[in-house]
Chains A and B, each alone.
Chain A
Amino acid sequence: MNPYLVLSLLLFLVGTTGFIVKKNVLAMFLCVELMLNAANLAFVAFARDLGQLQGQIFVFLVMVVAAAEAAVGLAIMIVLYRRRQTLNPDDADTMKG
Chain B
Amino acid sequence: MMTELLWLLPLVPLAGAAATGLLGRRLPKRAVTLVAVGASGAAFVLALAAFMELLSLAPGDRRIEREFFTWIAAGDFTAQASLLLDPLSAVMTLVVTGVGFIIHIYSIGYMRAEDGYYRFFAYMNLFLFSMLLLVLAGNFLLMFVGWEGVGLCSYLLIGYDFHRPAAADAGKKAFVVNRIGDVGFILGVLLVFLTFGDLGFGRVFGKIASDPSRFPPEAGVGVLTSIALLLFVGATGKSAQIPLHVWLPDAMEGPTPVSALIHAATMVTAGVYMVVRCAPLFSRAPVALDVVLVVGLATALMAATIGLAQTDIKRVLAYSTVSQLGFMFMAAGAGAFSAGIFHLMTHAFFKALLFLGAGSVIHALSGEQDLRRMGGLRRRIPVTFWTMLVAALAISGIFPLAGFFSKDEILWAAWAGGHPTVWILGLLTAGLTALYMFRLIYLAFFGEPRHAEGVHPHESPRSMTGPLVALAILSAAGGFIGLPAWLGANRFARFLEPSLSLVHRGAVPHFSHALEFAFAALSVAVALAGIFAAHRIYLARPGGAGRIAARWGAIHRLLRDRYRVDEFYDRAVVRPLLGLSERTLWQRVDVGVIDRAVNGAGASILSLGGILRGMQNGLIRSYAAWILAGMAAVLLYLSLLRS
Contact = CB atoms under 8 A, between A and B. Distances in A.
Whether A and B touch (Cβ < 8 Å) is answered with yes
Interface of A: 16, 19-21, 23, 28, 89-90, 92-97
A92 B620 contact: yes
A96 B621 contact: no
6 interchain residue pairs of minimum CB distance: A96-B618, A93-B618, A89-B620, A97-B613, A20-B621, A20-B625
A20 B622 CA distance: 7
Given A90-B620, A96-B617, 14 more contacts: A16-B628, A19-B621, A20-B621, A20-B628, A21-B621, A28-B620, A89-B619, A89-B620, A89-B621, A92-B620, A93-B618, A94-B618, A97-B613, A97-B616
Nearest to B625: A20
Nearest to B631: A16
Contacts of A90: 619-621
Contacts of A92: 618, 620
A28 B628 CA distance: 15
A94 B618 CA distance: 7
23 contacts: A16-B628, A19-B621, A19-B624, A20-B624, A20-B628, A28-B621, A89-B619, A89-B620, A90-B619, A90-B620, A90-B621, A92-B618, A92-B620, A93-B617, A93-B618, A93-B619, A94-B618, A95-B618, A96-B616, A96-B617, A96-B618, A96-B619, A97-B616
Contacts of B618: 92-97
Interface in B587-643: 613, 616-621, 624-625, 628
Nearest to A95: B618
* Interface of B: prevailing SS: helix
A95 B616 CA distance: 9
A93 B620 CA distance: 8
A6 to B, nearest CB: 17
Nearest to B617: A96
A93 B623 CA distance: 11
Contacts of B617: 93, 96
Contacts of B628: 16, 20
A90 B621 CA distance: 8
Nearest to B613: A97
Contacts of A20: 621, 624-625, 628
A96 B615 CA distance: 9
B221 to A, nearest CB: 73
A11 to B, nearest CB: 16
Contacts of A97: 613, 616, 618
Nearest to A17: B628
Nearest to A90: B619
A95 B620 CA distance: 11
Nearest to A21: B621
Contacts of A21: 621
A21 B628 CA distance: 12
Contacts of B621: 19-21, 23, 28, 89-90
A70 B494 CA distance: 121
B265 to A, nearest CB: 81
B527 to A, nearest CB: 94
Interface in B90-108: none
Residue picked from B617, B620, B625, most chain A C-beta under 10 Å = B620
Nearest to B620: A89
Nearest to B614: A97
B186 to A, nearest CB: 63
Contacts of A95: 618
Nearest to A16: B628
Contacts of B616: 96-97
B625 to A, nearest CB: 5
B609 to A, nearest CB: 10
Contacts of A89: 619-621
Nearest to A94: B618
Residue picked from B613, B616, B624, most chain A C-beta under 10 Å = B624
Nearest to A97: B613
A56 to B, nearest CB: 27
A81 to B, nearest CB: 15
B624 to A, nearest CB: 5
Nearest to A96: B618
Nearest to B612: A97
A95 B613 CA distance: 11
